[in-house]
Amino acid sequence: MQTVMFTCESEHESQVIGNSVNLYRHILSERGVDPTHYGPYPEGVGISLDWNDVQEAAVFIKPSTMTRMSIHMARAIREALLYKEKCGKDPEFSKTAGKLAARLTSEIWWAETTRL
C-alpha cells in the first residue's frame, strides 16, 4: 500500500486539521453520505473508509512530528481541508487549511509517482 509522509509544523496546523476533519464528518452526513463508508475516490472505485478512522488519524497529527498514513487517508484529510478552505468561517483557519491541502496534495502526488 502506498503511504504518505506528512509533517505538521505547528499547533495551529494540528488544530486546523482536527477541526476540518471533525467538521467534514457533519458535512458528509448533511450530503447524505454515510460517514462509515466514505469513499475518497469517484464512486465505483471500491475503496471506502470509516470517517471515525480518519478522525483518529487526525488526532495523531501533532506539531513537529512526521505522520505516516495511507494515501487513501491522506486524500480524505485533504478533502476535509479543501472544504474548510472554501467554506470555513474563520479566515485564518481557512487560509491555513488551503496551505495544508496544498502540502498534502504534493505529498500524495509524490507517493503516487514514486512507486517502486
Residues in CB range of 13: below 8 A, 6 or more apart: 63, 96, 100
Q: What is the average per-residue pLDDT within 107-116?
A: 82
Question: What local confidence, expressed as pLDDT, does residue 43 receive?
Answer: 57
Task: Read off the C-alpha cell for 13.
Answer: 496546523
Specify the range with the lowest mean pLDDT, choosing from 6-15, 42-51, 55-64, 89-98.
42-51
What is the pLDDT confidence band of residue 44, given thresholds at 50, 70 and 90? low
What is the pLDDT confidence band of residue 8, given thresholds at 50, 70 and 90? very high
Whether the Cβ atoms of residue 95 and residue 65 lie closer than 8 Å to each other: no
Specify the range with the lowest mean pLDDT, choosing from 15-24, 30-39, 52-61, 99-108.
30-39
Please choose, from the candidates 69, 10, 15, 66, the residue with its C-alpha nearest in 3D space to the C-alpha of residue 40: 69
Mean pLDDT of the chain: 91
> Model-level pTM?
0.91
Q: Is the pLDDT of residue 116 over 70?
A: no
Which DSSP letter does residue 36 get?
A: G
First to last CA, the chain: 11
